[in-house]
Each structure stands twice: as C-alpha cells, then as structure tokens.
Structure 1
Amino acid sequence: MYNEPIERILAKLQALKQEDETYEIFGAEGHLYELDEVWNPEEVLRFEQKWNVKLPEEYRAFLMLAGSGGAGPYYGLERPEEGVYTDLDYKSELNDVSGCFSYTEAWNAETDWDDERLSEEEQEALENDYFGPDKSAGLLRISNFGCGVSINLVVNGPSYGQIWIDDRVNQGGIYPDHYFDNTERLTFLTWYETWLDRSLDEIRT
C-alpha cells in the first residue's frame, strides 16, 4: 500500500542529496541525507510490544521500507527508541507513549507567567502542571526542531497518526504541525515528503 509513495520519497531524498552537495539545508550537515537501517517486521513488533503501542501504518511502513532514523526535517529523524523519552537531550525520564493523547485542537495554559502576585510555590505548581508528562502522553518524538521544540507523532488518542508540536519550553503549548504552511493536518509520509519538496525548491531557487 505504501510502496509507491515511499519509493517516490526515496527518489526525492536521493535527488536532494545530489543537489545539496554543500549541505545548505538546515540539519543536513548532521544526517548527510543518510537513513539508518530499516527495521524488519519483528523489530517493529518488539518495539510495539515493549511500549504497548500500535504505530501508525505510514510510519511502520517507513521504518521497514526506508529507514529507522537519520535524514529528515530539522535535525533529522530520531530513532523510535530515542523518541520515548520526555527530554530531547537527556535519556532519563520516559514518556507515557502508551497513554492517551487527548487533544484534537491546539492547547496552551491560560496562565500569566509574569504575574507577580503568584507565590513561589504557586508558580512552581503551575510549571509542574504545565510541563507534566500527562500532556505528552501518547506522543512519540520523531524530530528535534531546535530550541527545545519537539516534533511528535501521535501514537494513541483521537489525533492518532498526526504530527504535533510540543513547544511548551517556549510557553507555546502543544499544537498540530503547521510549520510547512499547511492548513490540513499532516500524517507522517505527507510531513516527510513536504519537507523534501520544500527543500528541493529551496536548493533549486
């Protein structure tokens, strides 16, 4: 079912690698347009069983037909086993990837973070709630946008299969990915191919 779009994606990735010889596209110097080894069906199943999730079909197909990380938007694709942590840089706290991501529309806390009337304890309580792992439950991080912002694939919940942004570090909340000026919700393959198309346009202009 996904062989044709993934073959098209791999062809575009090869074209981008050939045309961007000096790695002008953001993040290219890190991944060099190379994908990590594909996973076999048993590896995908082991990951799903370990973390009690069912990966969206587009992403499963990409893992088995294209690669398990490497070349991709921003700083590249993270490997699935790296995307289960809450922190982008420290692999210390696991995210509840099997939990339910409940949001269907953009969310942010209605909080005045500069309200001087808040006590230190109240401020700390607000921050603990805002950054609580329950907010990112059901998300698998797939890419690092930079500046603490993560790109995530919803693996459980009503927005299953969509790409969402976690921008809480900049008090931007959590919202569907519209970074490519898209008005529609993006699924994994559309997100990845849109990045390729925009990158090719950038190199060719």
Structure 2
Amino acid sequence: MREQVLALREAPFPEKVFGARWQRSGHEFLLESPLGEAEVAAAEEELGVSFPSTYRAFLLEVGAGGAGPYYGIFPLRHDGQGWHWVDDSGIRSDNTLLGQAFPSVAERARWAEELDAREPVEQDFPDDQSYLAAFRAWDDEWERLHASMTAGAICLSHEGCGYYTWLVVTGPERGTLWIDLRAADGLLEPLSAGPHRVDFRDWYLSWLSRATSQAHGG
C-alpha cells in the first residue's frame, strides 16, 4: 500500500486527485515514516486507548500520517508534550476525552435539545449586561458540548469546508468512521457501504483505488 501511494507522485495526472496538490494543504502523495511496534504501544498506553486493528496496521506498515482521503491523514507524533495528532493548521489534538465512550446518536440529540432549551431569554433579565453575561456562559456550554460529542474518537482528516472524518476508538462504535458536518449545521453521521459501517481499511483502500484511477486519467 505504501509503495502504491508514493508511486502516484509519478502518475500522469496527480493533480486530478482532490487534496493532493492544493496550495499548502496538499499532501503531495507523501507519507510520514511508519511507527515501530514499541512506539505504537507507547502511544496507546499514554493515551489510554487501543487503536482499532486496521488503523494500527496502517501506523505500523504504511505511515504515521500523510497522503490519504481529502487533504490527507493527520499524523500521530511524539514530542516533549507526549503523543498527539496534528491537524492541517498545525494544531495539536486535545486527547483529554479520548478514553470516554463515543456517544450514541440519541445521546448527542438529547444533550443538544436540553442545552438548547436552556438558552437565556432576554426578557428574563433586568438589563442587557446581565443578559449578555448569561448568554456568553450558555454559549461556552455549547463549546464544551461540541467537544463532548466526539469523545472517544480521533480526528483523522479534513474534508474541506470545515468537515472532518473521525475514527472511533472507545465505546460500542469502536472502529467505525464518522463524517462531521456540524460546520454547516449538520450532524455527525456514520460512513457506511450499504448496511455495513466503514472501517479505516475500507475507507483508505477505497480512496487509493479512486486516486489511482484519477491520477492515471481514469
């Protein structure tokens, strides 16, 4: 798989593959070096999770990140602050919720409904200042809820326009991938092929097949 990806750099039409050559965000069909078994095990121990088998195999045999669907796979790296993923803006992941179970669709809907019902109403406050203070506190709750909705999942890839792909590592949905459409007031939705949920291997191989065809003029 690694050799197939790197070979696409020499294909006749690599620019036809979305995200490969897009200004500074393009992955250019480059892959970071694979991690060793000891490194992956150390990352799992520090983060308090066990990576799904197909993603774990990718880290060990293909690369720690780089070329992949859309703008590529966010790399898993280690520095003086420990193991983390780095997004396409260079921002480190926040792994504090990674060990919590990924919430169900029903849980996310209930949380949003309950918080929405608590929105401050201006008429209930004696002045603008007190209303604005209450509204800001309520808005901060939305920020925390937004993060809680992806607890137990790794942000893998930016699809563009603020849409992201998440890999669940904790809870009943472990191993499945989800598309995050909240930037356009959408939902977190599972990736699926017919009745089956898509895992990391399915997702990556589907992209590689499509990218190979596009890069060769298909």
**TM-score bracket relative to the smaller structure:** 0.7 to 0.9
2:205 equivalent to 1:193? yes
One-letter amino acid of the counterpart of residue 206, structure 2 = T
Q: Give the equivalent residue in structure 2 for 1:96.
A: 97
Q: Which runs of 5+ in 2 are unaligned?
A: 78-83, 123-131
Which residue is 1:13 aligned to? 5
| Equivalence map 1:53-202=2 (5 Å) | 53-81=49-77, 82-83=84-85, 90-91=91-92, 93-103=94-104, 109=112, 119=122, 121=134, 125=138, 128-129=141-142, 132=145, 133-177=147-191, 182-183=193-194, 184-202=196-214
Offset at residue 126 of structure 1 (A): 6.4
State which structure, 1 or 2, has the greater radius of gyration over its C-alpha atoms.
2
- 1:114-171 deviation digits (Å, cap 9, x = unpaired): xx99556468636734752221110011111122221111000111101112222222
* Structure 1 partner of 2:129: none
Moved more, 44-53 or 98-107: 98-107
Q: Given that residues 88 and 144 in structure 1 are in contact (C-alpha distance below 8 angstroms), is that contact kept between their aligned partners in structure 2?
A: no
Question: Is the Cα contact below 8 Å between 2:100 and 2:151 reproduced in 1?
Answer: yes
Q: Deviations over 1:62-108 (max 9, x none)?
A: 111110011111111101344388x9664375451111102268965
Greater strand percent: which structure? 2
Asked if 1:41 is matched to 2:37, the reply is yes
Partner Cα separation in structure 2 for residue 139 and residue 66 of structure 1: 21
Structure 2 CA distance for partners of 1:97 and 1:73, relative to 1, 3 Å: same
SS, match of residue 72 in structure 1? coil
Give the percent of matched residue pairs that are identical in Structure 1 and Structure 2. 31
Q: Mark the CA change 1:47 to 1:72 in structure 2 (over 3 Å): closer, same or farther.
A: same
Q: More helix per residue: 1 or 2? A: 2
**Secondary structure of residue in 2 paired with 1:28:** coil
Matched, 1:28 2:41: no
TM-score scaled to structure 1, two decimals?
0.76
> Aligned pair count?
190
Give the Cα separation in 2 of the matches to 1:150 and 1:83. 14
User: Per-residue displacement from partner, 1:15-51 (whole Å, max 9, x unpaired)?
Assistant: 5333255523122122211110110011001111111
Tell me the distance in 1 between the aligned counterparts of 2:96 and 2:162: 16
- Paired amino acid for 1:33: F
TM-score (normalizing by structure 2) = 0.72
The residue that corresponds to 1:5 in the other structure is none
